[in-house]
Structure 1
Amino acid sequence: MKNIYIVRHCKADGQQADANLTAVGQEQTKQLIEFFENRQIDAIYSSTYKRAYLSVEPLAKKRGLSIIQDERLTERVFSTIQMDDWMTWFKKGFENPDLVFEGGESGRDAKKRIVQVIEEIIKSDAENIIVASHGNLISMFLQTINEDFDFDDYWRISNPDVFLVTDSEEDQLSYERIWVEKNN
């Protein structure tokens, strides 16, 4: 059975691809090291966005593992244009997987790319894998396991957060939130 730990990045100073971790985010990387201390980790995958990579880099160094960066794990771009009341439209994007705006990506397309990565990981030899990514993309993936995962569930995901995804012998995926937040 595979154990795939889906990790939302630590607190960052922005949403752009090169956003750094905040001072709190840097401290949270230490919490991730502690959290995974007694767990076997065979491989670490990460979004190419700096905040995701930096979130798992200290853990990778401590374990002597390299990080496999994959552009398919980058955050879903909702739109490249400024939108008034974007939160309303963002919520509608959860309700309609085909909704897409200028320069953006539909939820359905975002799901396809993260599912491709997870399917490849499941076929790999590694048994215990960390996948560092972003809130919206993680939400899109969790919806493929539980179609009831919605906009409100998205807002409950913390920075960082950890979901354990397991596959059964019947190739059925399930997940549970296993992160325990600490006050920062």
Structure 2
Amino acid sequence: MNKTIYLVRHCKAEGQAPDARLTREGKEQADRVTAFFKGISVDAILTSPYLRAVDTVRGLAEDHGIPLKEETRLSERVLAGQDQPEWLSMLERTFTDLELSYPGGESSRQAMERGMEVIDDVLQRQHHVTVMATHGNLMALLLKRFDVTFGFTQWKTLSNPDIYRLDFSVEAPVIKRVWK
């Protein structure tokens, strides 16, 4: 089994709401994401239904002539049901206690498992190269699933956008950050 999954964190957006649009800079970044994939044979593109994720890979889909498939399991992890002034320290705790969940939110383990369902589905398909557009917290949790050393500190270093390549030829993938 030789398969590659590119995890793409969305470009800069105007906010966190599901319908938040890309900023002007974010639109320029989306063009750079499309250019990054020129010359790479992409078989499938899955995206969170959040507008900022869709718009990050829309040009890529058009450029490759591939339909976008919205995948709700790639939506951002909900930390809590309401905005929290201490959200950053709350998030940090969830990277060390994967079972911790706040009212109205999901634990890191729950988010990781739903994201892994998508990866498992992709690995069962005939596609060799799949692009998955998602969000920073879910992306970090998926990377943590394969590399336990990936944590809050590494999450803080993710950029908008960011791209990690996961090469599966054995059970655990080789992970490489490919966005510069």
**Shorter-chain-normalised TM-score: which range?**
over 0.9
Hey, what does 2:179 align to over in structure 1?
A: 179
* Whole-Å separation in 1 of the counterparts to 2:83 and 2:58: 32
Give the corresponding residue for 2:39. 38
> Secondary structure at 1:45's aligned position in 2?
strand
Pairing of 1:56-75 with structure 2 (within 5 A): 56-75=57-76
Deviation at 1:86, TM superposition (A): 1.9
- Residue 131 (str. 1) matches residue 132 (str. 2): yes
| 1:148 paired residue number | 149
Q: Distance in 1 between matches of 2:173 and 2:151?
A: 18
| Aligned-pair identity (%) | 35
Deviation at 1:63, TM superposition (A): 1.1
Q: Which residue of 2 aligns with 1:112?
A: 113
Does the residue aligned with 1:72 lie in a helix, a strand or coil? Answer: helix
Structure 1 segments unaligned to the other structure (5+ residues) = none
Partner SS, residue 148 of structure 1: coil
Find out whether 1:6 has 2:13 as its counterpart. Answer: no
* Distance in structure 2 (CA, Å) of the matches to 1:120 and 1:48: 18
Deviations 1:97-123, CA, capped at 9 Å, x for gaps: 011111100000001000000010011
Letter in 2 for 1:9: H
Look up the match of 1:91. 92
> Could you list the per-position Cα deviations for residues 134-176 of structure 1 after superposition, in whole angstroms to 9, with x for gaps in the alignment?
00000110011100101010011110110000112x3222211
Task: For residue 84 of structure 1, report the CA deviation from its aligned partner.
Answer: 3.2
* Structure 2 residue aligned with 1:53: 54
1:62-120 per-residue CA deviation (whole Å, 9 max, x = no partner) reads 11110011100000000012323221111111111011111100000001000000010
Name the SS for the 2:160 alignment partner.
coil
**TM-score calculated relative to the size of structure 1:** 0.95
Q: Name stretches of at least 5 consecutive residues in structure 2 with no aligned partner.
A: none
TM-score normalised by L of structure 2: 0.97
Please report how far the alpha carbon of residue 20 of structure 1 lies from its aligned counterpart in structure 2 after TM superposition: 0.4
